[in-house]
Amino acid sequence: MKQKKQTSPLPTRDQVLAFIRESPVPVGKREIAKAFNIKGADRVGLKELLRDLRAEGAVARGTRRELMDPGALPEYLVIEVIGPDADGDLLARPVHWNPDDGAAPPQIIVQPAREHAAPGPGDRLLARLRKRGKSRYDAQIVRKVGHGPRRVLGVVETPRGARNAPQRGALNAIVRPTDRKLRYEIEVAPRDLDGAIDGDVVWVEPLGGPLARRGRVLDKVGTLRDPRAVSLIAIAANDIPVEFPEPALAQARKAGPAPLGDRVDMRGVPFVTIDGEDARDFDDAVWAEADPDPANPAGWHLSVAIADVAWYVHPDDALDRAALKRGNSVYFPDRVVPMLPEELSNGWCSLRPHEDRPTLVAEMWIDAHGRLLRHRFHRALIRSAARLTYTRVQQARDGHPDREIAPLMREAIEPLYGAYAVLLQARQARGTIDLDLPERLVSLDQEGRIATIRLRERFDSHRLIEEFMILANVAAAETLERRHQPCMYRVHAPPDAAKIEALREFLATLGISLPPGLNLRPRDFEGVLRKAAGQPYERLVHETILRSQSQASYSPENVGHFGLALRRYAHFTSPIRRYADLLVHRALITGLGLGAGGLPPDAGAEFAAIGDGISLCERRAVAAERAAMDRYMAAYMAERVGAEFGGRVAGVTRFGLFVELDESGANGLVPIKTLGEEYFDHDEPGQALVGRRTGMTWRLGDRVRVRLREADVATGGLLFEMLEQVEAATARPTAGRRVRAPGKTARHQDRAAPRRAAKRRR
Whole-Å CA distances, 214 to 155, 175, 187, 209, 715: 14, 9, 5, 9, 20
Stronger pLDDT, 670 or 184, i.e. the higher one: 670
Is 683 among the domain residues? yes
Q: Last residue of some domain: 30, 52, 68?
A: 68
pLDDT at 97 over 80: no
pLDDT value, residue 183: 74
Domain shared by 60 and 43, yes or no: yes
Least confident of 170-184, 315-329, 461-475, 664-678: 170-184
Print the domain residue range for 57. Answer: 13-68
pLDDT score at 755? 37
Give the integer Cα–Cα distance in Å for 24 and 131. 4
Burial class (CB in 10 A: 0-12, 13-18, 19+), 325: middle
Q: What average pLDDT score do residues 424-428 get? A: 93
Flag whether 275 is in a domain. Answer: yes
Computed over every residue of the chain, the mean pLDDT equals: 84
The pLDDT-based confidence of 413 (bands split at 50, 70, 90) is: very high
Task: Render the burial of 475-490: b for 16+ CB within 10 Å, e for the rest.
Answer: bbbbbbeeeebbbbbb
CB 216 within 8 A of CB 205: yes
Nearest 5°: CA angle at 447, between 446 and 453?
75
Residues 268 and 383 both lie in one domain: yes
| Average pLDDT value for residue range 356-370 | 97
Q: Is the pLDDT at 753 greater than 70, yes or no?
A: no
Q: b/e for 698-719, b at 16 or more Cβ within 10 A?
A: bbbbbbbebbbbebbbbbbbbb
Which residue, of 122, 146, 170, is where some domain finishes? 146
- Is 288 in contact with 299 (CB distance < 8 Å)? no
List, in sequence order, every residue forming a beta bridge with 146; answer none if it has no partner. Answer: 124
The residues, ordered by sequence, that sit 6+ positions from 660 with a Cβ below 8 Å of its Cβ are 647, 648, 650, 666, 667
Same domain, 703 and 600: no
Instruction: Pick the more confident residue, 20 or 333.
Output: 333
Strands (E), 60-196: 60-61, 67-68, 76-84, 90-94, 107-111, 124-133, 136-146, 152-157, 173-177, 186-188
Q: Are 177 and 162 in contact (CB under 8 A)?
A: no
**Per-residue pLDDT reduced to its tens digit, 429-453:** 998 988 877 777 888 888 888 888 8
Q: What is the pLDDT of residue 115?
A: 67
Is the pLDDT assigned to residue 525 strictly greater than 50? yes
State the total domains in the chain: 6
Q: Is residue 236 part of a domain?
A: no
CATH of the domain at 210: 2.40.50.700
Complete DSSP assignment for 542-579: HHHHHHHSPPPEEESS---BTTTTBS--B--S-TTTBH
Residue 238 located in a structural domain = no
Of 120-134, 711-725, 744-758, highest mean pLDDT: 711-725
User: Do 330 and 420 fall within a single domain?
Assistant: yes
Task: Give dist(CA 189, CA 169) in Å, integer.
Answer: 9
Distance CA(744)–CA(522), nearest Å, equals 43
* One domain for residues 605 and 681: no
- How far apart CA 575 and CA 561 sit, in angstroms, is 20
pTM of the model: 0.77
CB 282, CB 351: distance < 8 Å: yes
Instruction: For residues 523 and 560, state if they share a domain.
Output: no
**In-domain check, residue 2:** no
Are 284 and 172 in the same domain?
no
425 and 280 share one domain: yes
Based on the fold, state whether residues 566 and 533 are members of the same structural domain. Answer: no
d(CA 59, CA 36) in angstroms, rounded, equals 18
Examine the pLDDT at 133 and tell me if it is beyond 80.
Answer: no
Question: Considering Cα of 478, then 480, then 481, then 483, what sign does the dihedral take?
Answer: positive
Is there a contact between 714 and 725 (Cβ–Cβ < 8 Å)?
no
Considering only residues 734 and 522, tell me which one the structure prediction assigns the higher pLDDT.
Answer: 522
Residue 329, in any domain of the structure: yes
Domain-terminating residue out of 146, 176, 208: 146
Q: Which of 14-18, 21-25, 540-544, 698-702 has the lowest mean pLDDT?
A: 21-25
Cα distances (angstroms) measured from residue 58 to each of 106, 179, 497, 517, 744: 20, 36, 7, 11, 34
- The span from the CA of 685 to the CA of 506, in Å, is 5
Taking residues 282-287, what's their average pLDDT? Answer: 94
Q: Is residue 6 a part of any domain in this protein?
A: no
Instruction: Examine the pLDDT at 211 and tell me if it is beyond 60.
Output: no
3-class secondary structure, 443: strand
Instruction: Count CB neighbours of 668 within 10 A.
Output: 28
Looking at the structure, tell me whether residues 352 and 284 fall in a common domain. yes
- The closest of 371, 369, 363, 374 to 298, measured between CA atoms, is 369
Phi then psi for 175, rounded to 5 degrees? -115, 120
- For residues 64 and 205, membership in a common domain is answered with no
Same domain, 470 and 421: yes
Whether 632 maps to a domain, the answer reads: no
CATH value at residue 696: 2.40.50.140
Chain-centre distance of CA 731, in angstroms?
28
pLDDT for position 564: 94
Sequence-ordered list of residues with C-beta below 8 angstroms from that of 645, at least 6 positions apart, any chain: 661, 662, 663, 705, 706, 707, 708, 720
Distance of alpha carbon 373 from alpha carbon 696, whole angstroms:
58
Average of per-residue pLDDT across 736-761? 38
pLDDT tier for residue 674 given thresholds of 50, 70 and 90: confident
pLDDT tens digit sequence for 633-644: 998 999 899 999
pLDDT for res 341: 96
